Amino acid sequence: MKKQLSTLVTALTVLLLICGITTASAQKVIRAGIGLTPDHPLHEGLLKFKELVEERSDGAITVEAYHSGQLGDDRTMMEGLQFGTLQVTIPSTAPMANFISQYSVFDLPFLFVNECVADKVLDGEVGQKLLDMLPEQNMVGLAYWENGFRQLTNNRRPVEEVADLQGLKVRTMENTLHMDAWRALGANPTPMSFSELFTALQQGTVDGQENPYPTIYLQRYYEVQGYLTDSRHIYSPFVFLVSKPFWDGLTEEEQKIVKDAAMEARLYQRERLREASKEYQQKLVEEGKMQYTEPTPEEREAMRKEVQPVIEKHSKVIGEDLVKETYAAVEAAEKECE
């Protein structure tokens, strides 16, 4: 009996050794999950990243791109990075605030006036400070990509001023700052994952939602929404996130390849997103898919006034110093962008 047992243990040890050796020399695979569809510029950016990584690593690292929430919603995919079951995901900053509350700083309403200012702040010291907070959550942030300025759609009425928002059931991302902001404007916020949104609009569970033009067009929200408002109430960054357990397992050279690819693909992705944003805003308006309204500067100012108490409340949650530093960076960037 003893002899049989020792033979079995030896066989198992040899088997594990063989697996270990083949795994060590096997390719490194990056499974990357996103929520948007294959025709969205986010996916185009991910394919650019894949091309650069596979080319520069001579195939030692391969990238598998999974779109349309195939691997779950933003929160689930970020948890996958923490556990090491997924290697890359690229969520909006809003759901990231559930892991690191400071991430709401970029979702402060009306923070960025245009993409030039957003790029300078995100790619500068403040952006890096937020990325440096990620390792404690077992994630590594490599670059900011672009989701874009968020626009409101709904199925109840044209929205041109705050009064039009009263009682509107608006789906928000799972983020208390977003919810408080819509509440302050008189709407009823309903937090919901992105993957549930189209059905909720179709069934009338919510009256409206808010997302950038490329998402509104490519998700076909115009099929279930009658009114589009160019609200630009919040600018959403995407953050290119890597699982820290995976990152730590890369050689220095491999880490440079992955980081450089994320940074280069960022420029491509932002460019494609901005082209798509113009194209789809035009299509939505010209094809008359939804009744389009643009708030006047006075009405935008009125909205900004209504959400000011929310900005003050959440500045305490985010950290007054970080908020001050961010607004100072915005001011400096606005001067440079003039």
Residues 147, 153, 155, 277: which binds ligand TK8 (CB under 6 A)?
Answer: 147
Quick one: which of 41, 80, 86, 92 contacts ligand TK8 (CB under 6 A)?
92
Task: Mention every residue, 6+ apart, whose C-beta is less than 8 A from residue 135.
Answer: 244
Q: Is 93 in the site for ligand TK8 (CB under 6 A)?
A: no
Find out whether 298 and 181 touch, Cβ atoms under 8 Å: no
CB of 309 to ligand TK8, least distance (A): 24
Q: What are phi and psi of 332, to 5 degrees?
A: -65, -40
- Our finding on whether 91 is near ligand TK8 (CB under 6 A) is yes
Show contacts with ligand TK8 in window 202-221 (CB under 6 A). Answer: 211, 215
CB nearer to ligand TK8: give 262 or 329. Answer: 262
Side chain identity at 121, as an amino acid letter? V
**Contact predicate 129/185, CB 8 Å:** no
Indicate the residue among 218 and 323 with the shorter CB distance to ligand TK8.
218
Give the 3-state secondary structure of residue 152. strand
Smallest separation, CB 173 to ligand TK8 (Å): 5
Residue 92 or 154: the one with the smaller Cβ distance to ligand TK8 is 92
Task: Provide, rounded to whole angstroms, the least separation between the CB of residue 84 and ligand TK8.
Answer: 21
Report the C-alpha gap between 130 and 125 in whole angstroms. 9
Binds ligand TK8 by CB under 6 A, chosen from 49, 106, 194, 280: 194
CA 167 – CA 207 distance, rounded (Å): 10
- Whose Cβ is closer to ligand TK8: residue 54's or residue 178's? 178
Q: Identify whether the C-beta of residue 323 lies closer than 8 Å to the C-beta of residue 114.
A: no
Count the Cβ atoms, other than its own, within 10 Å of residue 26: 10
Examine residue 222 and tell whether it contacts ligand TK8 (CB under 6 A): no
36 binds ligand TK8 (CB under 6 A): yes
Q: Which two tokens stand for residue 166?
A: 């009263």
The DSSP bridge partners found for residue 242 are 88, 140
Interface characters, 233-272, with ligand TK8 (x: CB under 6 A):
---x------------------------------------
- Give the closest residue to 126 by CA, choosing from 141, 136, 146: 141
Binds ligand TK8 (CB under 6 A): choice among 52, 78, 142, 173: 173
Task: Give whichever of 55 and 64 is closer to ligand TK8, judged by the CB atom.
Answer: 64
Q: Which two tokens stand for residue 66?
A: 């999974």
**Alpha helix (H) residue ranges in the chain:** 2-25, 41-56, 74-83, 93-96, 115-122, 125-131, 176-184, 197-203, 213-218, 244-248, 252-286, 297-318, 320-337
CB of 110 to ligand TK8, least distance (A): 17
**Considering the complex, what minimum distance in angstroms separates the CB of residue 22 from ligand TK8?**
35
Least Å distance, CB 236 to ligand TK8, is 6
Nearer to ligand TK8, 92 or 229 (CB): 92
Residue type (1 letter), 276: A
Q: How big is the CA angle at 58 (ends 56 and 61), to the nearest 5 degrees?
A: 85
Element (H, E) at 146: strand 139-149
Establish if 281 lies at the interface with ligand TK8 (CB under 6 A).
no
> Taking the complex as a whole, how short is the minimal distance between the CB of residue 96 and ligand TK8, in angstroms?
10
Looking up tokens 């589009």 gives: 228
Among residues 138 and 209, whose Cβ is nearest to ligand TK8? 209
Which residues contribute to the site for ligand TK8 (CB under 6 A)?
A: 35-36, 74, 91-92, 147, 173, 194, 211, 215, 236
